[in-house]
Amino acid sequence: MIAIAPSKGTFIKQFTDQFGPFPFPILGDPSRAAYRGMGHKKMPKWKLLAKAGFGFITGKVKNFIPKNEKQKQFVLKSMKTQDVYIQGGTWLYSAEGKLLWKHIDHSPEDHAKIDDVLRQM
């Protein structure tokens, strides 16, 4: 398993310093070439901000901002300096590199379900 983030290695290191360690590598795609090439979407800014505001007001979004002060500062910095509108996805490949299954997120809450990923594996 690997994760690909739309950031430079220096920013990924800052992330792993605050939220890691992780049992897999996190690689950077600062030009977003892989994201675009794989068909990932960018959510319109107004739509994401509206979702976040609605979730915050209704209480459906909890712990959006971490309570830990260093993590909180990192998240706030990320929101100002990183492309937080890119939506991710989950891709499964065979050992030979053949695409077996994919799920492209269309919104922050539209992640592949763990049970679906395990079933596909």
Instruction: Supply the DSSP symbol for 42.
Output: B
Q: What is the pLDDT of residue 105?
A: 92
Q: What is the pLDDT of residue 61?
A: 66
Answer yes or no: are the C-beta atoms of 107 and 88 closer than 8 Å. no
- Walk along the chain (121 residues) in steps of 10 and give the mean pLDDT of each run: 91 94 94 91 77 74 79 88 86 94 89 94 91
pTM of the full predicted structure?
Answer: 0.73
Q: What is the pLDDT of residue 79?
A: 81
DSSP-assigned beta bridge partners for residue 101 = 92
CA distances from 93 to 4, 68, 102, 108, 111 (A): 14, 36, 9, 23, 18
Q: What is the pLDDT of residue 55?
A: 73
User: What are the boundaries of each domain within the chain?
Assistant: 3-120
Look-up of token digits 């960018």: 42
Q: Phi and psi at residue 86, in whole multiples of 5°?
A: -70, 135
